[in-house]
Amino acid sequence: MRHRLVFLCTAALTLLPITFVFAHERFIRHDLKVPVHEEYFGRHAGVFLGMQPDMLRIATVSCVLLLIFLVIFFFRQNLDVFIEHRLLLSGLRGRAQRFLHHVANFLTDKPVRLRWFHAVGEWAVVLFLRSPALVLMYSATNDSLVMPSYPLEPTSAIYFKYIQVFLAILMLTQTALPLAGALVIGTWIYLWRWGWMVAADAIPVLTVAVVYLTSPWQSHKIAITELNEKQVRWVRLVLGFGFFALGWLKIYNYHLTAGVPDNYPAVMDDPMIGFFAMGTNPLFRRENWIIAFAYAEVLSGFMLMMGVFTRVWGSMMIWVLAKLMFVNFGWEEIPHIYPIAATMAIVFSNKVGSEFAFIERIQQRAAREGRTLVRIATVAFASLAIAVLTVYVLLYAFTFINRSHL
């Protein structure tokens, strides 16, 4: 039934006469004021992997950072026991011990048994399920589809504006959520008519559709304040992959990304981005910022998608998105409320999991059998392979693609 809904909603959308302005960029100003160093993003003879040295340096910093996080993650149970029972908490009692125990649980994605934590999680779910309606209404008032990044052609804008308002009403009243989910997926599929980059840019929109489609038809009679384990997993996978893809798109379509610091120079002063770009040539500051910003998003999306220190990286994503909305770009980035709410629903859930659980099981079995070398080798090989494949493969492939015409 739900598959038929997606098909029917997509078919209905494709019948409407609409002309899109090809614009997968954000609604903020992004016009280039200074030409980009095109050679930076191409092939360089006589250099390792043929990459520009600063680009390779940023990628290596990202690879080492990912490698460290993966190794710590796979050994986090042992580190938690060591810190909690031998190093810090062995001599603590009372509130101090409980506080550090809750902090450790939060950082290692274990259940946090606190009333306020549960209350914030419930509030985040409610906001997550309803915030897309705010984005839709905001887009409708700005003659755009789904988000301000996709402006509508005036002759057909009226149809899509009413559809978005109708969908927003379903979301706000929590009515027939499976229908709302089908409409969201149908709209996303419709975006493929204007290229894969447009559809890739809108992947985070699909996050809420997962929850809508798995909700009961009598959703208006039920107070949905908590996501089950499967819903949390799918939200984490879709949202994480969405940011992972957006990070790579920043490198692929670097002209678009370069226009952002041209109009908002303060974004290049972010300390988190500066960490990735440390030690690079100031002559290519903007190009280095593009790669560093992209890798910050790639790693955040990857960690969230794969469930590696989900709460730690999710919290950093919430901070960055809120900073972009309230400090850097202002009202034009108000749609960030939606990914902030989606990330909060994951961070404050006690049902987060990991896609690398099988590696943990292998090394834990080796630990029980006393095969320490096998255990260390398993974690080291797996972490190194994951880090190298995640960081270098696509970047290396991009250097062979001429994107100067984008």
pLDDT, one tens digit per residue, over 20-43 is: 233 334 445 566 667 888 888 888
Measured CA to CA, the distance from residue 346 to residue 264 in angstroms comes to 30
Q: What is the pLDDT of residue 8?
A: 39
Categorize the per-residue pLDDT at 371 as very low, low, confident or very high, splitting at 50, 70 and 90: confident
Average pLDDT, the chain: 82
What is the chain's length?
Answer: 406
Pull the structure tokens for residue 111. Answer: 């259940």
Average pLDDT over residues 134-155: 73
Amino acid at position 31, single letter: D
Q: What is the pLDDT of residue 96?
A: 73
Amino acid at position 302, single letter: F
Please give the DSSP secondary-structure letter assigned to residue 146. Answer: S
Average pLDDT over residues 178-200: 83
Site of tokens 């997968």: 24
Lowest mean pLDDT among 150-164, 179-193, 249-263: 150-164
Element (H, E) at 318: helix 310-323
DSSP annotation string for 320-373:
HHHHIIIIISGGGGGGGHHHHHHHHHHHT-S----TTHHHHHHHHHHHHTT-HH
Between the alpha carbon of residue 369 and those of residues 204, 223, 358, 359, 372, the distances in Å are 43, 48, 17, 16, 8
Site of tokens 């992947």: 203
Give whichever of 60-69, 245-254, 323-332 has the largest mean pLDDT: 60-69
Measured CA to CA, the distance from residue 248 to residue 200 in angstroms comes to 10
Q: Is the pLDDT of residue 145 over 50?
A: yes
**pTM, 2 dp:** 0.82
Please give the DSSP secondary-structure letter assigned to residue 216. Answer: -
Q: What is the pLDDT of residue 156?
A: 73
* Sequence ranges of the domains in the chain: 2-10+55-74+109-398, 77-108
DSSP annotation string for 46-85:
TSGGG--HHHHHHHHHHHHHHHHHHHHHHTHHHHHHHIII
Lowest mean pLDDT among 6-10, 73-77, 340-344: 6-10
* Backbone phi and psi for residue 151, each to the nearest 5 degrees, phi listed first: -70, 145
